[in-house]
Structure 1
Amino acid sequence: MLNTDAWQRLTDLFHRATELPEAERITFIHAQTGDDPELQRELLALLAADTDPTRLHAPLREAVKVAAQASEAEVMPGTRFGPWAVERMIGAGGMGRVYLARRADGAYERQVALKLVRATALDERRHRHFEYECRLLAQMQHPAIAQIHDAGIDADGRAWLVMEYIHGQPISAWCDQHRVDLRQRVELLAKAAEGVQHAHQKGVIHRDLKPGNILVAAVDGQPLPKIIDFGIAMDAAAADDAPGGGTPGYMSPEQARPGNDTDARSDVYSLGALLYELACGAPPEASPVPPSRYLREQPPARRAELAAQRGSTPARLRRALRDGLDAIALKALQPERAARYASVSSLLDDLRRWLAHYPPHAAGPARWLGVRTFVRRNRLAVAAAAAVAVALVAGLAATTWSLREARQEAARARVTSEFLASVLDSVDPAVSQDMDKTLMLRVLDDASQRAVRELAAYPDILADVELIIAVNQVGLEEYDRAIAHLQSIRSLAAAQPGRLQFQELRAMQVLGQAYLLSDRLKQADATFVEGIARAQRGPAAHRWLALDMQSRRAWVLFVQGQADAATRLAREAFDGLSRQRPADDPQRLDAAKRYAEILSTSGDYARAMVLLDEVIRQRTRVHGREHPQTLAARRDLAVARLQQRDFAGAEPELRQLAAIYERLYGADNGFTVSTLGMLGSALREQGKVREAGPYYRATMEWNAARYGTDSFSAVITRHNHANWLLADGQAEASEREQRALLEIAGRTLGRDNHVTAEILRGLAEAELAQGRTQAARVHANESLRAMRKVYGDQNQAVLRDVRDTLAKVEAAALAEAGAR
């Protein structure tokens, strides 16, 4: 620490130096401070900050580095710090030196990086804070953060920190050496940002994020970034008292200002600087231009070199930067914190949006950017939807277009194909508002026949056409037709090894769903298992499909009674998609909805409702309150209320949803009918038994006629009707129905299934109402056994109803014994 005289001397030298040309300052500083290294270091830092608050010019920067390193003697090999012995120095910086060390007390073998904090970096007050910080840093457990193993202060007052040794390269150097493309660079930075986000959640701000502090190493053949050097990271609650820290060129403007009013947005700035450098090859200037403009302003040879390092051409690279990364980088690099991303989480969301081909929020209402990203995220083969459009027009009226002409117009068809595919999405009954589907099926059949005949020489286009047709046939509940098309895509892929990977994965995703919706659960599970394995082995851009299929498989397992496995898979899939996809991504929201349904049915109502509220909020914002996907999420939330026994709360929402469905789709529609069935449950549980009856009966009859008496939905709705019969005083009729259902469920679902368990409980209730206590006890205990098998003994919410039934049975048995 400088004393009063030294501070006065520093002030005088600073004013004298600022009057000199910059080229003469280094000589002046060495001449005036050669006898006092600490004074020299402070003077260099002041001049650098005065020259540019966020960047040091090269001579000053080098002088600061040399002065800082010269002030500490290098530790000799073998020197011990706690149980760790130094082997050799591997790096040095303004905050101290880093040594390769090893465990020397014989407890176990491990190489580590030991950072010896420069003595002048910590005064007495900060020594105490250093110990606190080390305990805080050790709590951080994240794949993108180098693990802290040990820390301490030796007898000479030297603070040391032992961390995981990463045999890697700085992120920018690694990317350049491996000629990593722009997308992979952003993926690596996003993984690192997830680590920063984790640190912020623990209350730690890094404050020196730069390429040298994010090392990339291969783990199981995959590149993984690791954040190192939290040596100047500070507890967020104590950041106001901390020195600014940071590295010029990457540190935020507020870190260079007196007072050091830093917060998590300082790390946002540094991540923006890293993104800038990864994108265009240089850290940002004090007032940065967009990365695409920086690239354009470089000499032709340099532009070509930067593009080649990113596996691209200058024109393609600039276009990719303009498609969102310019906006993300500039928002993160705003000089005023209030104009930046509010958190690393917000920055991550935009990076994920860009990776998923969505326009980032930072771009604002950029219309053409939205069009370009829409086309990229929904990319089909060159003329796929154009070919289907030809079939549509041919099925409705004469046309002058032909498939041959569409192929010749490939560039234009690429842009229009996505629009035409979205038009075909109106075939889905949730969007077509219960239109007559005969014509739609005829058009799809005609398209299928022509595609096979006329696109045989174009397997990629044919696969896309088949996929569009199959998706729409699933929407029309024509599952066998859809399955045939999806199997055709798999055959095409098998005949074209390596060429149709994405189309085959999408086919397996839709095929598994078709099996699930048609109650072919074993085929659905096998298809999803195979699809997940293939997607995990494939390119990184296809990995989201593995998570999506895992989420769908979770529902298959849940229907089969494997609640624990289903919950785990659903949670992992949702967490994975949340890391990879933006908040309003459809696949992420679908996974959230499935996970919420499993949680709610398993009795975890609080978490389920939080998830469903978020799904409703996002879908309402994107689509509107009456869009089919929004309505589905609203209906799931009403179901969660029913399961929570909030019948009065569920009733008004169900009435509103039923009215909307009837207005949109008509009375004879599955959405309308199923919602009315749930309304019946809300009414019955409130004692409005007579009013509930017609809803139960209509729902049961509709599902049996539509899907068959043995289908999952028919069993559920018939069971609900049997429960209503009991509430209406028709115990004998209820018992007959429950026995018939028990036979179907035992045959199709098995005895260890939550639906079978509910039927057993309903049967016990019907027997109890008729005074047959012993039979009721047998079936109630069997129901409890099945529920425990599915959910375990800890899920009290799920076991509550069957235990209530058992309590009623035992009370009746005691009453009978007393009467005798």
Structure 2
Amino acid sequence: MEVQVLQWFERALAQKPEQRRLWLADQDMDQGVRERVLRLLDADQASGAFLEETAIAEEALPPEFPKVGERLGAYELLKPLESGGMGVVYLGRRADDVYDQQVAIKLVRPVHLLAAAEFRRQLISRFEDERSILARMSHPNVARILDGGSTGAGIPYLVMEYVDGVPLTDYCKANKLDVRARLALFGKVCDGVQEAHRHLIVHRDLKPDNILVGENGEPRLLDFGIAKILEQEPLPTDGKRHTSLSAMTPAYASPEQVRQQALTTSSDVYSLGVMLYQLLAGVRPYELGGLRPSEAEAVVCDTLPDPMRKMLDKAALTDGERKARRAQITPDLERIVAKAMHKESARRYGSAQELADDIRRYLNGEPVLAHPDSTAYRMGKFVRRHRFGVAAASLALLAVLASAGIAIWQAEQARRAADDTVRVNTFLMDVLKSSDPYNTGSDISMSQAVDEAAARVTAGFPDRPDLASKIRFALGYSMISRNKLDTAERELGLALRESRAAFGPEAVPTLRIREGIAQLRKQQGRLDEAQQMLHDIVDSFEAQGLQSEPAYYVTLANLGEIHLSRDDLEKAELYLGRALALPPPPQDGQFAPTDRAVLKQNLAQVAHARGELVEADRLYLESIDELERVHPDGSPELATALSNLSTLRDEQGKADEAFALIRQSVEMREKAFPSGHPTLITHWALLSQRAVAEADGGYALTAARKAAGYAEDLLDPSEPLAIFAQYVLAEALLFQGELVEAEQRLAGAEIQVEKMPPEAKNLRNLLSDLGQRLCQAPKAGSLPRCGG
């Protein structure tokens, strides 16, 4: 309990003094803990004035606490400098006449000496850790430890290099540093952090106040009081790593630190990203003051910050400074900061050194390594945030595979004897004519039909493994598009066995089936296997001199796409470029006329990810032009291309054009599924929320009614996606001031969400938040839920 009390005490200290008691009263905690925290706050207030004067109010301090003028070893205490959550720092001097030197002397915060023996033991352990950590490092951008020990009463202290400087943000502001100068200075900060990381030390409390810049312009990294040496820190039995009494600063803490998960040096990289954001934008990416811990956690872990250029509007800058800063914050800088602050630690820079190197590449005019998340990754994150939409999202992402499979299947059949073509096409037409929305615009509702077709293959072609393998291949590829991966595994496995028997292990039909199995491995998340299979297939085509085969082109394109999905831009560009460089096969039914446009879309994503926005723009537009020529009335592929271009327009600051493009994309998807499809629910719902953000309430309501309508037609009302559609409609109605219907829709969603398991807390939280916003609206007092 002692540790819990001190955790809450430190959180209370992080609030403004006048708000601490109100903040504490609003927290969910045991009353006994609350009372003990209040007593600590009273004691802290009684002793708090001692830092404002050079003389300490002795009656407010424990009698054993050192006083100004006393000596600690060879050093004399001169005056207090500052106070943090756990310690106080004094200015001191060497007092043994050996040489004259000013130092900083750090001691335990006096109020903590009033705590129980167990907590005092932890404090002493922390000081010993800090002394050990500092002793391991020697770097011009890290404050050095000079000495340490304990007073006669057993109070530990550290003697450190005295840095006569100001916090990082204050220094930049006082010296009116432009963006380039701030970046150069920040690179040195990263160097200091890298020195800690080189010794396997995670600082865990990086913030501007812990980085002082002297008159010589050199930053010094301070305060390793809650740092840890990774190799000496076992994971607790409860699976959470409690950050030294939770003494971290939440505004700069990483998502994994806020969640009390295992930390690596990547956590410090996140904190560096927050500081860099603040240095460039003039404000922090998040403001957490006054939030409950759970609310702060949700902001840090789940909310993406606005672009820095947009946040400049909130910064305390003159109009001239704001204009100059906005001109200097380029898309590359936005990407550098976004990579450092990525919610997933594995997708940040691998070290502080990598961040510093990318900053210096930028300053030298060289290409930076930071780039946007791939489309596949962004969709994956959306699915994980909205698990109820996973089936619909999978269908939207994978449907293109079905078209490729059927197109190539048809191409190969064209080279067969007429009787075989008739025999096979008759079979396929009976069972697959509605399976491919990219060709037919039909609803994807083929599960039962495809299963029946698979069962009929053996009976229908008992003497023709060559034909049976082709049909199973088409069926298996179609099953991938519907996320029936187990069934696809069975059919493609049988197809491969039959094709090897009929054609041989290295024949083109067999290689094509192997390519289909590679796509299956990709969808199963077995990316290493998929990538290696595709490489092997390319090698086999090239060893046999079969580069003119359409299947070789398809394999190159898919290999480039898988490298793109893994953010390996260099190899993605290599294989996509090789595919694009091949002579287009004749338009005789053996080649999909939109495949080259899709290739250009993928190359555009490579350029986009690299920050080469002009090149990305060119490729996106070329692809869209080619798709429009083939599908003048629109297609799902064209809808995807328009969506990608919308993202680029957003990054270019062209919000109106971006919104128009995403509207066109969603409306086009609806035409591709004339009988409706669950994917449309997700697309229309997200478009409605975008319209609310653009303050287009009328269109937001139209889009929301579309989403809700499709949900009512296609889903059970208790399904999460159906509930989400009702939530979006209620939100749009609230935005338009139609409060009565908004409450009705919200009430219906609340009834359904109660049928869901307890784990569906995100959806419950959305509805709860909307209910609160609804009751805060003007004239909401007449609503039943709001007291009417």
Q: TM-score, normalised by structure 1?
A: 0.36
* Larger RCO, structures 1/2 (Cα 8 Å, 6+ apart): 2
